[in-house]
Amino acid sequence: MDTPPRVDNPLFFLDYDGTLAPIVDDPDAAYPHPEVPGVVQKLRDRFPLWIVTGRDLRSLGRLFPANAPAIGLHGAQRGSTKDADPPAFNEDTLAALSQMQSKVPSVEGLHLESKPPTFAVHYRQAQNPEDAQRRLQAWVDTAPEFLEAIWGKKVVELRHREHTKGRAVRDIAADHPDRVPIYIGDDVTDEDAFEALADIEGACTIKVGSGDTVAQYRLPDVDAVVAYLKSYL
């Protein structure tokens, strides 16, 4: 897969975990690469830029010192890393999420990450991750049809099927017709965005790390992402 090109008139969409911050065992300690806050602020002075995350934006703001426009909870929330309203979920969704949270399997080493009104279940520290994944799959299978399970890197969470990163970035790209979208992400949920931007002329989609992807280009790690972003400064 080719090295990503430098794009004229970019519109940046940057995933957080695994892209701007290394993946760590404790999601509450996922601080950004040391150069990222400064690079993001300088990019914002020149280009439109959004951080895109599955995290609640208030949670992201506690980790990320720079202020930037952001999409949270896989598209269900918009605002900035320093100021965001809670997402609006209907009563059926709230009730279903609450019920599913009460039924999370009891497995040693599971970590429940609260992202009100939703949550994620991390099993990276489970004694037997394969068994934990099987038990979580059985739990996921009991979810109502309008909730979708999103499996990431030793983590699973539930989202409403209408909330995707792809839909969110497509809407924002439509507001910037004179800009070329660049989306950089490392996880399964970023594939929605890669696909959503595929038919926009010149769009540049970049997968971070290994694994199958529909992205056009690839960067090996967070250090490489930082180097690529610095090429625009």
- For the annotated catalytic residues, the residue numbers are 15
The set of long-range contacts for 128-132, using a CB threshold of 8 Å and a minimum separation of 24, is: 129/154, 131/107, 132/105, 132/107
Q: Residue 212 contacts by C-beta under 8 Å, 6 or more apart in sequence?
A: none
Give Cα 85 distance to the centre of its chain. 18
3-state secondary structure of 230: helix
Query: Minimal CA–CA distance to 160: which of 77, 76, 57?
Result: 76
Query: Minimal CA–CA distance to 210: which of 74, 23, 40, 50?
Result: 23
Backbone angles phi, psi at 211, to 5 degrees: 105, 160
3-state secondary structure of 95: helix
Asked whether 204 and 5 are in contact (CB, 8 A), the reply is yes
Backbone angles phi, psi at 61, to 5 degrees: -60, -25
Asked whether 150 and 54 are in contact (CB, 8 A), the reply is yes
